[in-house]
Structure 1
Amino acid sequence: MNLMSHSSDKQNALILWFDEITLEDVPLVGGKNASLGEMYSRLSSKGIKVPHGFATTTKAYRFFLSENKIEGEISHILSELNPHDLESLREKGRKIRSLIIDCPLPKELEKEILDAYSQLSKEANLKAVDVAVRSSATAEDLPGASFAGQQETYLNIRGKDNLLYSIKKCFASLFTDRAISYRTDMGFEHSKVALSVGVQRMVRSDLACSGVMFSIDTESGFSNAVLINASYGLGENIVQGIVNPDEYYVFKPTLMKGYKPILQKRLGGKEIKLVYDIGGEKIVKNVPVPPEERKKFSLTEQEILTLARWACIVEEHYSELKGSFTPMDMEWAKDGLTGELFMLQARPETVYRGQLRNYIEFYRLKGKGRVLVEGRSVGDKIAHGKIKVIRNIGQIDQFKEGEILVTEKTDPDWEPIMKKAKAIVTNRGGRTCHAAIVSRELGVPAIVGTENATEILKDGMTVTVSCAEGEIGKVYEDEIPFEIEKVNLKEIPRPRTKIMMNVGNPEEAFELSFLPNDGVGLAREEFILTNYVRIHPMALVHFDKLREGEDKEKIKTMTENYPRKTDFFVEKLAEGIGMIAAAFYPKDVIVRLSDFKTNEYANLIGGADFEPQERNPMIGFRGASRYYNPRYQEGFALECQAIKKVRESFGLVNLKVMVPVVRTVEEAKKVIAEMEKNGLKKGENGLEIYMMCEIPSNVILAEEFCELFDGFSIGSNDLTQLVLGLDRDSEIVAYLYDERNEAVKRMISSVIKTAKMKKRKIGICGEAPSNYPEFAEFLVKEGIDSLSLSADAIIKTTLNILQLEKTLFG
């Protein structure tokens, strides 16, 4: 198959086939092609498929320059370069590119390229195979320098003349404006960077889908998740931020044990797709995606899992080669003719690779404002500044240092001004588009996929760009003050008392997992139900009984891709709970069953038809009393199915369950029986069931409850309210509400003693320990096992508890 034998001297080769190339050959074929060869030659046996191809070597590139005697002229043109003078940069780049394009390829090189192309076509049983022609520079993908998209790629190239011309264009792309500017800023000498060109058989993803994936979460640096982006057609649209793709998260540790842990599936817009321009003037073109296809996920669950496994295999292979953890940035495609998946590229991820999370920064807004636009947040920072809308590349010289860049999308040509931006906001793109990748490298906040930022935001407006509020980034009107808390994680030892976390928002879980913690003492379903599910479960179980109207139409639309409407509830709730359980795996994560009051349940879509009217919902039909009641029993079954899916399908057996508002021992028995009926049997596969201790009867009958549950979490808010007999929401009697009241403390002391006597775990999930240091001291003295707190109280309370334990125990 090969035109040169494997024993030949690679150093003198002008062409190398992928099966002759390994990662050691970066000086010969650049980062991308060396990586392709590494996967083709060493990972095919592990199931990873890479389209075959060959690469011109860096010797071929230098041979081209020397035969045409243009090295000196290129150096002369660049000798007086000021990379920040955009007009000068454009002119010098244009001159060099024209110079290269106008030169012929040496005959010897041309022959080797054409012979290799003929061989590749013969393997495909075609007269002329379609190929992708990709640039691969020797300075690519170094730590802190990704060179993302710096050189060109040409797709759907067919025929010898087209191939030769595309290779010359790749050579010339080493001197695009952005590549010259980037090398100068990164300190690379232009003359020492050489180019290899990969010629790879095209995968017909124009008939299916393609995308990118990372073996790490690109926002937080959480290393146990694979992030996959996918859209219809050729993959350039995702990289360039032209489409908002589908997004999937897969949990690595249990995936490789045989589970199916797809933590999240988010449907993207996928409005257009890049396809072959058969018979047209252009090589590829964008066409609209039919509305019915946009509403469907572009990958099946099995394909998602296959890609995620490949990501794990590639990451493990590169980590072993490099001797340290090496997260990977990969491109993949699905062939629409054969249905096969292929890996197209793999390179080390450049933002988080080699970083140790020794410290963490928290950005927090200190005020409120009017939200102007929203999109996907990139990073977790906040910035103030004045808006500058740049609609096309011809306007970039109008951009000034410190402004906020607002545009349709970015590509590598925009990098000279992206470096000057305080923040970046785009209409298009997902979290793996060009704007997102470069923003992460630069450390500036970005919001992508807003759809209408260029219309809403006007030049000169002062705004606050916030990426510190979870997955949704927001642009606020005016300058809103914010604070930054920087915490050195290495300086905080663990106290004897466990410090756990209260977590409601799954989108924050990966980032929060880096805080010093002992797991999650309270994962609330309520946030997930409100923001992920949004539909009342009984409205899905009894959809036919729902009144005709807006709610019914919304439910039809939201559930149209699901075989059964109830599957929507189970999947969305499982995804939300699963994200939290995965973030803190293998530490305990205790999820509390739904604890909405009837008026809150009624606010869910379709909820008003299934909820009774109560005068005092706070002490009405809530918590355990709902789960076995025919009014909600079938809805509770769906909650149980979601939790079972997280534990059994995702493999997240660190998930425990907690029952709220258990009023009597008989009620506790009914709920436990209902859970077992729905597949959640206490003790099976390590399942522990806890109860909230928030009612005086829970304390008085603690010994009896100990016979039924594995532990307790004290809900100090409700317990204080019911011990003191007051409505904590009433401003008239609010001054009486205090967890430090002696009656409340005696109740807490009593239940801790009983739990200890019965060898049951006991913690607290209220904010009192962080609000009142003396209350925390009381709890530690009483011997409580754990405190579960909101994230912003974790550090302060941990330090207080460490000092307290030192005083108490030495």
Structure 2
Amino acid sequence: LNLKKLENVQKAGKLARGWISRGRFPKDLEEDIIKAYKKLEKEYGENIDVAVRSSATAEDLPDASFAGQHESFLNIKGDKAVVRSVKKCFASLFTDRAISYRREKGFEQLEVYLSACIQKMVRSDLASSGIMFTIDTESGFDKVLVINSVWGVGEMVVKGRVTPDRFYVFKTGLTEGYKSIISKTLGRKNKKYIYSKTSGLKEATVLKKDENIFSLTDEEIITLAKWGCVIEDHYGTAQDIEWAKDGKTGKLFIVQSRPETVHSNIEGHYYTEYIVDSKKDPALYGIAVGNKIGIGKARVITNPEEMKTFKKGEVLITKMTDPDWNSIMTIAGAVLTDEGGKTCHSAIISRELGIPCIVGTKDATKIFKTGETITVDCTQGQRGRIFKGKIPYTSKKYNLKEIPDLDTDICLNIGAPDIAFQYSFLPVDGVGLAREEFIIANKIIIHPLTLCLYDKIRSKLTKEEKNKVKELTTGYTDKKKFFVDKLAEGVAQIGAAFYPKKVIVRFSDFKTNEYKNLIGGRLFEKEEENPMIGFRGASRYIDPDFQKAFKLECEAIKKARDELGLKNICVMVPFCRTIKEGKQVRELIKKFGLNDKKMPVYVMCEIPSNVILANEFLDIFDGFSIGSNDLTQLTLGLDR
């Protein structure tokens, strides 16, 4: 039988499943199952709800996850229903997707065996559930855990029907006693799975108030993360863990753990650099999976029956995939979905196949048309970009083992926290310049004084500005805390990526025209003829009107160091013109809580006065970083 042809797979699968479904269930096995179910009833009550889950001998191997290939059944009640569900599990050994997957992975079709595991259901339909990886799923960075969480039963995560909340926890800080949640992202959780009245699950709408809050508390995140570390230590390899919270008791449960199957099998000494040669704006963004670029003709599929039209190398665009789509995903050049998060089916399979994938785009099926050429870019961190047309790019693969050791310390310049984990594998000695500007412009987006004085200036904002502030600060009654938390998370991600190596974070160095572009910025920033030599750097921090904003920056650094455990983070002051300014800034930094004598404070050397008065500046600061662009322009009177 030629299993490369989809129609042959479908025919064989239908026959095999039919034989099992019509077959007589062994009497002794049926009696044993009923007896065991009765025992559960004695412990938990009559008609107890259980999960009947498939478990195959070839599942969860280090190089083959078999994710979603076999069936599981949730909220099953009554002994007869349990027996029927076990039979369905056995039949699912021959789903079309399982047959195709075994062929692709080189397994003999009749040498994979399957059992059914029956577990008391955790009432996550009344609370939350999700998936936890003990490694970053995109970069393979192993010093963090990634927790995804939704309301209701966890099938909603796997099926990608919603975008889950996502949390990153720094393992080293966790083991040292810190609450090291270095990133929290609120998902789009408008739907959930709950119990149906008889058995099985049904879809329900999430209350509006629950949509806009996290589905786990910080304490629960930390508890799960600690358990994840214990499980990983026990098995000795990165884990893919399913968890659930019981809404009746409030208790958390681990319901499954299996090996992570992608990065655990990649040799870590290679690094591929991608350079996209285009200033064209993307047509759409989403959540990036993997670190590659794919170019091909779009194929929009809204009905599974249209799968037979799919051609090798095309970009699959659909609302969401499930295991029945695996046969065409194996030949896709890239995958785009409207729904889903980093642990949905599309993401898991694309990651395993090594193809670029962007999930949670919202509108890919509406924006792109079958036949048009598109470029899918997953190389810029967590935010995937989709362009119309063929975008030129170059790539170069480096063998990091071939790079010689140097006597000079080599440090990175970095702005985007999203790419820090990817760069963590480079043979560098830390970060010489981590820019706050990228985090403020792309994650916070709101002028810090808008947040500090929101109640006073709210009436001066446009309706669009007010709506954007409301959207960005969802869940925050204190808008200043939003700034502190998001900036702390951004620098903490960079700090975690290179821990314990030094990471020097430069305080914000926006010019007035750049600050003006932030929401509400027009209310606080004046017009300047030459912003480069205007109100910026140290002179801005010490200004009485801006000090309250600078205080937020200091509080964010303090949080990253003292609460999240990133003691390798230190700070740098930009554009400090005079000795007096330097002394005033040092006093403010201390006043605003950064008074740890072990934390060095550096200054940019980018003004001629910094060179001429170098010794005096070094009486105030712990070191210089040469800003060659500004220093050259200000010395020679030239622009770029």
- Classify the TM-score, shorter chain: over 0.9
Please tell me the residue identity of whatever aligns with 1:294: E
State the Cα RMSD in Å: 1.2
Q: Is residue 699 of structure 1 aligned with residue 618 of structure 2?
A: no
Residue 238 of structure 1 corresponds to 157
Partner of 2:469: 555
1:222 shift after superposition = 0.4
| Residue 112 (structure 1) shift | 1.1
Tell me, yes or no, if structure 1 residue 258 matches structure 2 residue 174.
no
Compared CA separation, residues 88 and 553, structure 1 to 2 (3 A)? closer
> Is the aligned partner of 1:301 residue 2:214?
no
2:9 equivalent to 1:89: yes
**Structure 1 residue corresponding to 2:209, chosen from 284, 289, 292:** 292
Give 1:62's aligned residue: none
**Match of 1:785?**
none
Deviation at 1:368, TM superposition (A): 4.1
Q: Indicate if the aligned counterparts of 1:209 and 1:232 stay in contact, CA closer than 8 A.
A: yes
1:283 to 180, 191, 200: 200
The CA distance in 1 between the partners of 2:147 and 2:359, in whole Å, is 17
Separation of aligned partners in 2, 1:358 and 1:557: 41
1:465-476 correspondence runs (5 A): 465-476=376-387
Aligned to 1:225: 144
Q: Which amino acid aligns with 1:211?
A: G
Residues 732-780 of structure 1, C-alpha deviations (whole Å, 9 max, x = no match): xxxxxxxxxxxxxxxxxxxxxxxxxxxxxxxxxxxxxxxxxxxxxxxxx
**CA deviation after TM superposition for structure 1 residue 372, in Å:** 2.7
| Correspondence for 1:411 | 322
In the TM superposition, what is the alpha-carbon distance from 1:548 to its structure 2 partner? 4.1
Distance 1:370 1:604, change over 3 A: closer
Give the C-alpha shift of residue 591 in structure 1.
0.2
| SS of alignment partner, residue 110 of structure 2 | helix
Q: Provide the rounded CA distance (Å) in 2 between the counterparts of 1:406 and 1:272.
A: 22
Matched residue, 2:599? 687
Separation (CA, whole Å) in 1 of partners of 2:352 and 2:19: 32
Q: Deviations over 1:238-259 (max 9, x none)?
A: 1111111111111111111110
Which of 103, 106, 122 does residue 42 from structure 2 map onto?
122
Deviations, residues 212-263 of structure 1 (Å, cap 9, x unaligned)? 0100000000001101111111000111111111111111111111101111
Equivalent position amino acid for 2:617 in 1 = F
Counterpart code for 2:79: K
Paired residue type of 2:87: K
Mapping 1:502-517, distance limit 5 Å: 502-517=413-428
Residues in 2 aligned to 1:416 and 1:136: alpha-carbon distance in whole angstroms: 22
CA contact (8 A) 1:84 1:416 kept: no
Contact 1:369 1:477 in 2 (8 A): no
AA of the residue aligned to 2:202: K
User: What's the offset of the Cα at 1:555?
Assistant: 2.1
Q: Which protein is bigger by CA-based radius of gyration?
A: 1
2:262 counterpart of 1:343 = no
In structure 2, C-alpha distance between the alignment counterparts of 1:369 and 1:396, rounded to whole Å: 31
Match of 1:622 in 2: 536
Judge conservation of contact 2:63–2:265 (CA < 8 Å) in 1: no
Q: Tell me the equivalent position of 1:709.
A: 621
- Pick from 139, 158, 161: which aligns with 2:80? 161
Q: Could you tell me which of 209, 227, 239 is aligned with 1:310?
A: 227
Does the 8 A contact of 2:296 with 2:313 survive in 1? yes
Is the Cα contact below 8 Å between 1:682 and 1:689 reproduced in 2? no
Aligned to 2:288: 377
Aligned equivalents of 2:333 and 2:469: distance in 1?
41
Q: 1:460-502: per-residue Cα shift (whole Å, max 9, x none)?
A: 1111111112222122111122211100000112211111100
* Counterpart-to-counterpart distance in 1, 2:467 and 2:213: 18
Q: TM-score, normalised by structure 1?
A: 0.77
Q: Identity over aligned residues, as a percent?
A: 55
Structure-1 separation of matches of 2:419 and 2:39: 51
Contact 1:427/1:453 (<8 A) preserved: yes
Q: Which amino acid aligns with 2:628?
A: S
After superposition, the Cα gap between the structure-2 partners of 1:417 and 1:658, relative to the gap in structure 1 and judged at 3 Å, is: same
Report if aligned partners of 2:129, 2:150 keep a CA contact under 8 Å in 1. yes
Instruction: Indicate the SS of the match to 1:473.
Output: strand
The question of whether the paired residues in 1 share the 8 Å contact of 2:444 and 2:472 is answered with no
Q: CA deviation at 1:659?
A: 0.4
Is residue 2:120 matched to residue 1:201? Answer: yes
| Partner Cα distance (2:510, 2:107) in 1 | 59
Aligned twin of 2:97: 178
User: Paired residue for 1:329, among 224, 228, 240?
Assistant: 240
- Paired with 2:14 and 2:466, the residues of 1 have a C-alpha distance of 59
- Give the Cα–Cα distance (whole angstroms) in 2 for the partners of residues 191 and 286 of structure 1: 36
Contact 2:169 2:183 in 1 (8 A): yes
Secondary structure at the counterpart of residue 482 of structure 2: helix
Which residue of the other structure, out of 580, 584, 599, is the alignment partner of 1:670?
584
The C-alpha deviation readout for 1:189-209, integer Å capped at 9, x for no partner, is 122111111100001110111
**Structure 2 residue corresponding to 1:100, chosen from 20, 31, 52:** 20
Distance 2:379 2:272 in 1: 10
Alignment of 1:768-807 (within 5 A): none
Instruction: Give 1:682 deviation, angstroms.
Output: 4.9
Q: TM-score, normalised by structure 2?
A: 0.98
Q: Does the 8 Å CA contact 1:368/1:480 hold for their aligned counterparts?
A: no
Q: 2:491 aligns with which of 551, 568, 577?
A: 577
**Rounded Cα–Cα distance in structure 1 between residues aligned with 2:628 and 2:461:** 42
Query: In the alignment, residue 287 of structure 1 is paired with which amino acid?
Result: A
Q: What is the alpha-carbon distance in structure 2 between the residues aligned to residue 505 and residue 175 of structure 1?
A: 46
The Cα of 1:569 is off from its aligned counterpart by 0.4
- 5+ residue gaps, structure 2, are none
After superposition, the Cα gap between the structure-2 partners of 1:156 and 1:447, relative to the gap in structure 1 and judged at 3 Å, is same
Offset of residue 385 of structure 1: 0.8
Q: Does 1:488 align with 2:399?
A: yes
**Alpha carbons 1:239, 1:432 under 8 Å: kept:** yes
Please give the secondary structure, in 1, of the residue aligned with 2:390.
coil
CA contact (8 A) 1:552 1:606 kept: no
Q: CA deviation at 1:559?
A: 2.2
What SS does structure 2 have at the residue aligned with 1:605? coil
Quote the Cα distance in structure 1 between the aligned partners of 2:451 and 2:284.
Answer: 32
Q: Does 1:367 align with 2:278?
A: yes
Q: Specify the SS of the correspondent of 2:306.
A: helix
Distance across 1 between alignment mates of 2:444 and 2:402 = 40
AA aligned opposite 1:290: L
Quote the Cα distance in structure 2 between the aligned partners of 1:506 and 1:141. Answer: 31
How far, CA to CA, are the matches of 1:370 and 1:548 in structure 2? Answer: 28
Give aligned pairs, total: 637
Which residue of structure 1 aligns with residue 57 of structure 2? 138
Q: Deviations 1:502-542 (Å, cap 9, x if unpaired)? A: 00000000001112211100000000000011111111111
Q: Is the 8 A contact 1:137 1:193 kept in 2?
A: yes
Q: Contact 1:205–1:336 (CA<8 Å) still a contact in 2? A: yes
Q: What is the rounded CA distance, in whole Å, between the counterparts of 1:151 and 1:394 in structure 2?
A: 21
Instruction: Give, in angstroms, the shift of residue 140 of structure 1.
Output: 0.9
Q: Secondary structure at the match of 1:705?
A: helix
TM-superposed CA distance for 1:393, in Å, is 2.2
Q: 1:370 deviation in Å?
A: 5.1
Give how far 1:622 is off: 0.5
346, 351, 354: which one pairs with 1:440?
351
Report the counterpart of residue 654 of structure 1 in structure 2: 568
Indicate conservation of the 8 Å contact 1:378/1:446, yes or no: yes
2:452 matches 1:541: yes
Q: Distance in 2 between matches of 1:368 and 1:153?
A: 47
> After the TM superposition, which segments of 4 or more aligned residues of structure 1 sit over 3 Å from their partners?
none
- Structure 1 CA distance, aligned partners of 2:280 and 2:536? 35
* 1:610/1:631 contact within 8 Å kept: no
Which amino acid in structure 2 is aligned with residue 688 of structure 1?
Answer: P
- The aligned amino acid for 1:343 is I
